[in-house]
Amino acid sequence: MVQYNEYLADTYLTEVATPVLAAERSDDGDTWVAVRRNIFHPQGGGQPADRGRLGECEVVPFRDSARGLVMVRARQEDGLEGLAEGDIVHTSVDAGLRLLHAALHTAGHLVEAAGRTEGWALAGSIHFPGQARIEFTPPEAGADLADAEDRDKAADRLRAFVAAMVADDLPVTVDHDAEGLRIVRLGDLHAAPCGGTHVRSLGDLTEVTISGVKVKKGRVRVSYAAAHGPLA
Ligand SMILES: [Zn+2]
């Protein structure tokens, strides 16, 4: 049962007609559907799930790790019953939300790259709208960030770095390493294993802001926001 996760190949593909790969009814009466050409990003890797539709039905995607498939279920009352393997369905995702998620996720990698220039190591990332942040482990538990003034200076350095890279419009590319791991690259600046959606190049980002640098429980927390610029 082969599913093609189109969201990994093309962030900007937001609708497609595709056959149903599997449709089944769970014990609690919900219908779960997987489609062959899957454009739905399920929640994972710090990125929220896409909002989408299968036919007229609003759906929520999720990962069924046991079977290695992305499935969808109806957001509210069931609207997926009656579907069978091989049926052709029209699928779509909320394009504005997709682009926002891709912008936040890409900006997260950029903030991570900026943090590395400070000597910090990545400890965690959340790319959700309104609460996006990257957490780092500093070399000496943030001793050099004890003062607010030092944290403000660090935030300014991060902002300058991020602005310069966006101005350089570094390309965002994807390849696979020897183990088959998907690697996302920002030019030659940064590489990270990642299964999220990203913009085409850093020039697609707009309104990249770093609200501040905090130290919490030995971690450096950098909160940020970003949006997708107008599509050319
Ligand atoms: Zn990513």
Enumerate domains of the chain plus CATH numbers.
Answer: 4-93 (2.40.30.130), 97-228 (3.30.980.10)
How far apart are alpha carbons 101 and 97 in whole angstroms?
6
How many other C-beta atoms are found inside a 10 Å radius of the C-beta of residue 117? 11
Q: Which of 59, 49, 57, 56 is nearest to 7 (CA)?
A: 49
Residue 143 reports pLDDT greater than 90: no
Paired tokens of 110: 């950029």
Helix axes 95-116, 148-168, angle to 10 degrees: 120
Question: How many whole angstroms from 99 Cα to the centroid of ligand 1?
Answer: 13
DSSP assigned state of 168: H
Residue 55 reports pLDDT greater than 70: yes
Q: Any alpha helices (H) in 81-134, and if so which ranges?
A: 95-116
Q: Model-level pTM?
A: 0.94
Question: How many whole angstroms from 81 Cα to the centroid of ligand 1?
Answer: 34
Backbone angles phi, psi at 84, to 5 degrees: -135, 155
With pLDDT > 90 as the criterion, what percentage of the chain qualifies? 84
Question: How many whole angstroms from 87 Cα to the centroid of ligand 1?
Answer: 33
Question: How many whole angstroms from 143 Cα to the centroid of ligand 1?
Answer: 29
How many other C-beta atoms are found inside a 10 Å radius of the C-beta of residue 114? 26
Residue 141 reports pLDDT greater than 60: no
**pLDDT value of position 26:** 79
Question: How many whole angstroms from 198 Cα to the centroid of ligand 1?
Answer: 6
Question: How many whole angstroms from 226 Cα to the centroid of ligand 1?
Answer: 14
Question: How many whole angstroms from 19 Cα to the centroid of ligand 1?
Answer: 28
In this predicted model, what pLDDT tens digit does every residue of 175-229 receive, in sequence order?
Answer: 999 999 999 999 999 999 999 999 999 999 999 999 999 998 889 999 999 999 9
**pLDDT value of position 33:** 95
Question: How many whole angstroms from 211 Cα to the centroid of ligand 1?
Answer: 21
User: In 3-state terms, what secondary structure has residue 212?
Assistant: strand
How far apart are alpha carbons 124 and 10 in whole angstroms?
25
Report the mean per-residue pLDDT for the chain.
93
Question: How many whole angstroms from 102 Cα to the centroid of ligand 1?
Answer: 8
Residue 9 reports pLDDT greater than 80: yes
Question: How many whole angstroms from 88 Cα to the centroid of ligand 1?
Answer: 31
- The letter for the amino acid at 187 is G
Question: How many whole angstroms from 75 Cα to the centroid of ligand 1?
Answer: 26
How far apart are alpha carbons 150 and 132 in whole angstroms?
22
Q: Look up tokens 């937001």; give the residue.
A: 14
DSSP assigned state of 40: P
Instruction: Work out the pLDDT band at 118, boundaries 50, 70, 90.
Output: very high
**pLDDT value of position 25:** 85
Residue 30 reports pLDDT greater than 90: no
Contact 36, 19 (CB under 8 A): yes
How far apart are alpha carbons 37 and 18 in whole angstroms?
6
The pLDDT of 52-56, averaged and rounded, is 94
Question: How many whole angstroms from 103 Cα to the centroid of ligand 1?
Answer: 10
With pLDDT > 70 as the criterion, what percentage of the chain qualifies? 98
Instruction: Work out the pLDDT band at 170, boundaries 50, 70, 90.
Output: very high
